[in-house]
Amino acid sequence: MNSLQFYIDGAWRDPHTPLTLPVINPATEEAFAQVSLGSKQDVDRAVTAARRAFATYSVSSVDERLSLLHRIIAGMKARLPELARAMTLEMGAPITFATQRQATIALFHFEEAARVLATYRFEEKHGAGIIVREPIGVCGLITPWNWPLNQVASKVAPALATGCTVVLKPSEIAPLSTLLVADIMHEAGVPAGVFNLVNGDGPTVGEAIASHPDIDMVSFTGSTGAGIRVAKLAADTVKRVAQELGGKSANIILADADIGRAVGEGVHACYTNGGQNCQSPTRMLIPRAAREIAFEAARAAVETIRLGDPLDPATTMGPLVSQPQFDKVQELIQSGIDEGATLVAGGTGRPPGLNRGYYARPTVFGDVTPRMRIAREEIFGPVLSIMSYDSEDEAVEVANDTPFGLAGFVQSDDVERARAIGRRIRAGRVYLNGAGFDRSLPFGGYKQSGNGREFGVFGFEEYLEVKAMLGVAHA
């Protein structure tokens, strides 16, 4: 599975300077592939190709771009099992989850971009003139390892749909699935230079993209700290920056909800993708009187989780992605114990019977207070903090007492009551009563969870400039 070339200007090309990195299977802790790490020179080549291609691709017709998107969609459908397996091997997502969620949602983003493009009005009359929406230009896209193809697709699909060209840097930890997408792009006939891929690390390739003077926009998904660095590098060239960063989402369970059911569902929602999910509801807020019911329901939910080989279809939770991620999660679990939270389930160390792989024990803490580290820091692992409240106003206050604002969750048997609480949560997305994923609705954060939006028409318009043209009202 070695892939030592980059996709630049319509062909696979050798890196400027040979330097490789092993790709580690987190279930075995063993290297199973290698990729090349790029350099500033590789980014320069990719940007040059993208800039040249933009001159013609930006004026391609809607029908031409729709045809291209449909060929990409067909290619992804044909290779869905291969894409899912690559993600299972590179970042540990159980194969069932990788197929039904990781790969399938990536496909959804291309389908959604095609749906928006088919009816989008790039020109419309307004006052004494017209408003023209045009592709912003060359887009540098930097994506993470936790949802490798979801984040790639949510950026690449609208960029291509709007007429932009792309230089993509996937995570060096989980790069193989994106390399398969580059193959799909090539087979679909993406014009040379429209889509370019350079593997590499953040300090080298990521920073070269963020600071490049010929890149018009950078879209970044990752940690808040890295996002700040990207924004600072981009500021010198005043390029547009769209960011989807960290989260510490609250799940407010109101007193009229079925507490046991809501807690059980909240545990599983928190553990989606092994807890390596930026919008995971990692802070569960319950009425103080429901403490014992909540703890028992949480224990019961944890007992249903099946840890094991992520290639086994019966496995529901795989390993964390890497040794550093495992170490970080262990440190934060220990901090919860040291700061006096009640350990309801799980704890430090590997789960029983799993002596190899970066597996963490699904953990639930109770009696968590707002100042504890586990209540404030993004853990990015299967760790849930249960916090008690005495009034709905207190619950909302605690929910909003965070530098993050990516998502919120509310559970109530009264939908209007849930909606009223949801309106008070300072976050870019609020899920009521277990609502599912919707690819057409905008996704993005308030506060230090980022700026800009992805998905649907909002994500589409991130890649467009707005031009006012006067004197043509009667044209």
Does 378 qualify as catalytic in the annotation? no
The rounded distance, in Å, linking the Cα atoms of 62 and 2 is 37
Phi, psi of 34, deg, nearest 5: -135, 145
Contact 176, 198 (CB under 8 A): no
Active-site annotation holder among 172, 207, 244, 462: 244
What are the distances in angstroms from CA 381 to CA 94, 311, 327, 355, 455?
Answer: 15, 20, 11, 18, 25
Does 139 qualify as catalytic in the annotation? no
Active-site annotation holder among 90, 278, 378, 462: 278
The rounded distance, in Å, linking the Cα atoms of 268 and 291 is 18
Residue 230 structure tokens: 């990207």
The rounded distance, in Å, linking the Cα atoms of 87 and 74 is 19
Active site residues: 244, 278
